[in-house]
Amino acid sequence: MRKNLLIIGIVLLVVGVAMAGISTVEAAHSVSSSIGGAGNTMYPGTNGDYYSNNLNVSTGDEVLVVSNIHAYLIPSSDISTVNSGNVGSYAISPSTSAGNTSTYTGLLGSFYVVTFGTSSPSVSYAVVSGGLGHLIITGLLVLGGAFLAIAGIVIAIIGALLKPKNRPVQQF
């Protein structure tokens, strides 16, 4: 029994470390190759507006906007006609919004993030290729691998510390 626990613990440890390691590398690669157009620089306009760098969005990309004030995603073709009075008619509605983070999906083309105010706002934006689903899955695999590795260590320690059963000595 203890030998079996020790073997199971070592196998879980090896599988968990491999799973966490490979998933970590994949997650890091996903982040470095999938985020483009990221920034937080907002340029002042002429009407009390501030606008981002031009964000080029391809099919399957997501646009993430994190802002401490209301920020609008505007097609680049409409940027010259937008002002604080008509921005609602040009703004694209976010697919999801939670707190101060808005996510836009299903877009294609060129866009700007626009805000209005008297001082430069705190806004971060990025175009994420392939969406966040892949990044979330690899993150969960990293956590699963870490859990397996910890379980493997615990089971291996239990297997190593268990005392053998007291068996009667056989006499010949």
Four-CA torsion 129, 134, 135, 138, nearest 10 degrees = -150
Assess if residue 167 is contained within a domain: no
- Determine the average pLDDT of the residues in 137-166: 86
Assess if residue 168 is contained within a domain: no
- Determine the average pLDDT of the residues in 56-63: 83
Q: Which residue's structure tokens are 């491999």?
A: 18
Assess if residue 136 is contained within a domain: yes
φ, ψ of residue 24 in degrees (nearest 5): -65, -45
> What is the reported pLDDT for 148?
92
Assess if residue 39 is contained within a domain: yes
- Determine the average pLDDT of the residues in 82-96: 90
Four-CA torsion 150, 155, 157, 159, nearest 10 degrees = -170
- Determine the average pLDDT of the residues in 131-148: 81
Structure tokens at 162: 């268990």
- Determine the average pLDDT of the residues in 143-164: 88
Assess if residue 62 is contained within a domain: yes
Which of 108, 106, 112, 113 lies closest to 131 in space, CA to CA?
106
pLDDT at 1 over 80: no
Picking from 47-61, 74-88, 127-141, which range would have the lowest pLDDT averaged per residue? 127-141
Q: Does the model's pTM come out above 0.75?
A: no
Four-CA torsion 66, 72, 76, 78, nearest 10 degrees = -170
Q: How far is 47 from 69, CA to CA, in rounded Å? A: 17
pLDDT grade, residue 110 (50/70/90)?
very high
Query: Could you tell me the residue range of the domain that residue 149 belongs to?
Result: 12-161
What percent of the chain shows pLDDT beyond 70? 89
Assess if residue 79 is contained within a domain: yes
Q: Which residue's structure tokens are 């340029």?
A: 43
Total domain count, the chain: 1
Q: Which residue's structure tokens are 């483009």?
A: 36
Q: What is the mean pLDDT of the chain?
A: 84
Q: How far is 100 from 117, CA to CA, in rounded Å? A: 17
Q: How far is 159 from 156, CA to CA, in rounded Å? A: 5
> What is the reported pLDDT for 126?
84
- Determine the average pLDDT of the residues in 2-13: 88
Which of 100, 98, 99 lies closest to 113 in space, CA to CA?
100
Assess if residue 2 is contained within a domain: no
Assess if residue 1 is contained within a domain: no
